Amino acid sequence: MNKTKIEWTDFTWNPVTGCWGPGGTAEKPNRCPYCYAQKIAFRFWERFRPTHDHPELWALMDPFAPTFHPDRLSQPAKTKKPSKIFVVSMGDLFGDWVDSVWINAVLGACGRAPQHVYQFLTKNPRRLEQWNGLWPPNCIEPWAIIGAQTGSGPVKPKDECVSGLIHQYRAAGVPIFLKDNLYPPGAPSTVKIQEWPNP
């Protein structure tokens, strides 16, 4: 796990990484061009390329291919202080490309470290239904986090888009967290919408 500066969580935890994107495959990925996780994966990949013994093979490898990291499953249990943990910040745990066995293993690890609150964000909410009744009580979703893109040159969403989303989520009773990059510098905390779902 990694300590993070993300304003709504304490740690990121990546027992699963990578994605193919909606309808994508290993042969033909369909990834979002603005994905910060993909950019990070390729940046670190290129850093080690010069030291690789077979650069011609290195060029054929995909650093953002969906990958299960079972050695990371025990990490939350090693952190005793109750914390908020963002699960799979470097992918989407509920993408169609993620094996159900991987998901079950991640949820099992959450249950074995109940002192934490686990935060799941997905662009594939329909798949969550397969785990209805299997969620440990310390896992939270749904939760709407709205803000500008992360990374260099963030694009701020239009005010009317943000207002429309707030209206829809309010009507559905979904907690809303607006990221700091939507507010002008120095905006008082009293005007911010930064709600937390109940675990």
DSSP the chain: -EE---TT-SEEE-SEEB---TT--SSS----TT-HHHHHHHHHHHHHGGG-S-HHHHTT--TTS-EE-GGGTTHHHH--S--EEEE-TTB-TTSTTS-HHHHHHHHHHHHT-TTSEEEE--S-GGGGGGGTTTS-TTEE---EEE-SPSSSSPPPPPHHHHHHHHHHHHHHT--EEE-GGGS-TT--GGG--B-----
Cα 196 to Cα 174: distance, rounded to the nearest angstrom: 10
Neighbours of 93 (CB within 10 A): 21
Domain positions in the chain:
2-141, 142-199
pLDDT at 109 (0 to 100): 96
Q: What is the pLDDT of residues 53-85, one digit of tens each?
A: 665 555 557 777 889 999 999 999 999 999 999
The mean per-residue pLDDT over the stretch 73-102 comes to 94
The pLDDT confidence band at residue 157, using thresholds 50, 70 and 90, is confident
Q: Phi and psi for 150 in degrees, rounded to 5?
A: -85, 150
pLDDT at residue number 26 = 80
Answering whether pTM is above 0.75, one says yes
Q: Give the pLDDT score at 169.
A: 93
> What is the rounded CA–CA span in Å between residue 82 and residue 115?
5
- Mean pLDDT, residues 122-132 taken together: 85
| Mean pLDDT of the region 123-143 | 84
